[in-house]
Amino acid sequence: MILLSLTALEESFRRFAIHGDTRATGKDMHGKNWSKLCKDCGVIDGKTVTLTDVDIVFSKVKKKSCRTITYDEFKIALGELARKKYKEKTGEEAEAEVYKLIEGKTPVIAGVTRAVASPTVNRLTDTTKFTGSHKERFDNTGRGKGKAGRVDLVDTSGYVSGYKHQGSYEKKVTKPPMAKPM
């Protein structure tokens, strides 16, 4: 059973270690992600364990020249926080309680800005109601044309604008040769 709980704990460690960092491998964790793990999993309660305590434990556990902690250092740090959070329990029982808080958890993504869907915003962003030069910036589906919608592009085809049979001259000139009857 201990092996199963360690793998669940290690999986949570890896998920928090790579959170918000595209270059992270999941083998070591930054202080920012350590603080996030402690907040999201409920290790920080504001009374016995505070954000300051979490930062102090991180600084104590990490190597002097490093800015990250490994999984082994992570377990040592959890042990220190567990003894502080659960003073009435023995060291091993306290660690088991903290492990239970963290196992299987993933980073919480809170406070992400959502688009407002009010009638006013919908009316202002409806491209079918645009007039004048603004109308030229969008195609029939409402997608922006990019630079083509902002800049007057010069037509270098050789035809006058609005000519109905554009491209027909090349077809007349390059007719395939007719086979001659013998």
The CATH fold assigned to 8-102 is: Recoverin; domain 1 (1.10.238)
How far apart CA 16 and CA 28 sit, in angstroms, is 10
More confident residue, 81 or 154: 81
Give the global pTM.
0.57
pLDDT computed for residue 181 by the predictor: 67
Average pLDDT of 145-174?
78
pLDDT computed for residue 139 by the predictor: 81
How far apart CA 41 and CA 107 sit, in angstroms, is 9
More confident residue, 132 or 41: 41
pLDDT computed for residue 61 by the predictor: 92
| Confidence label for 60 from pLDDT (cuts 50, 70 and 90) | very high
Report yes or no: 145 and 138 within 8 Å, Cβ to Cβ. yes
pLDDT computed for residue 15 by the predictor: 87
**Which of the residue ranges 50-54, 59-63, 114-118 would you say has the lowest mean pLDDT?**
114-118
How far apart CA 180 and CA 108 sit, in angstroms, is 79
What DSSP character marks residue 89? S
Kindly report, as residue ranges, where domains of CATH 1.10.238.10 are found in the chain. Answer: 8-102
